[in-house]
Structure 1
Amino acid sequence: MFHEKHSRTIVKSITWRLLAFGATVIVLQLMINDWQTSLLHSVIIHSIKTVLYYIHERLWNMSNFGQELKTR
């Protein structure tokens, strides 16, 4: 069994959020046609979601659900 380090979870959180952030900015820009508002809303939304994702990952790392120890 392996256990992710906090640094790996943080890097995964950041890279995923950057990808999702870009998509959100583009969608909001297409919907409201205002770059400043699109960026502001995206920053707020994704800051909250990054923290929630990190907490979610750490909680799942405490669980053995769905994990198997494979032997050779």
Structure 2
Amino acid sequence: MKEKTYRSVLKTISWRTIGTIDTILISYLVIGDLKWAMSIGGVELFTKMGLYFIHERTWNKIQLGKEKEHPIDYHI
């Protein structure tokens, strides 16, 4: 089954939201400065969103682990 581009965009946004919150929390715990943690999270949000989108679209083209769709045959 082939996924449409908008599905990949929505998956990219939802995953990066979770990932960015995680990065901000970890950065804050390590650095102890919310301003720096937000800066780090902001930069990684855009770089990793782009990388994930490219990764997702590339995997959509790879046939490994996909099953071919078969038309339904009705015999009456």
Q: How does 1:1-72 map to 2 (within 5 A)?
A: 2-69=1-68
Give the unaligned 5+ runs of structure 1.
Answer: none
Q: Which structure has the bigger radius of gyration?
A: 2
Give the unaligned 5+ runs of structure 2.
Answer: none
Q: TM-score, normalised by structure 1?
A: 0.89
Count how many residue pairs are aligned between Structure 1 and Structure 2. Answer: 71
Q: TM-score, normalised by structure 2?
A: 0.84
What CA distance in whole angstroms lies between the structure 2 residues aligned with 1:4 and 1:70?
13
**Which letter does structure 2 place at the counterpart of 1:67?**
K
Identity of aligned residues (%): 31
What CA distance in whole angstroms lies between the structure 1 residues aligned with 2:13 and 2:36?
22
Cα root mean square deviation, aligned:
1.4
Larger RCO (CA within 8 A; separation ≥ 6): 1
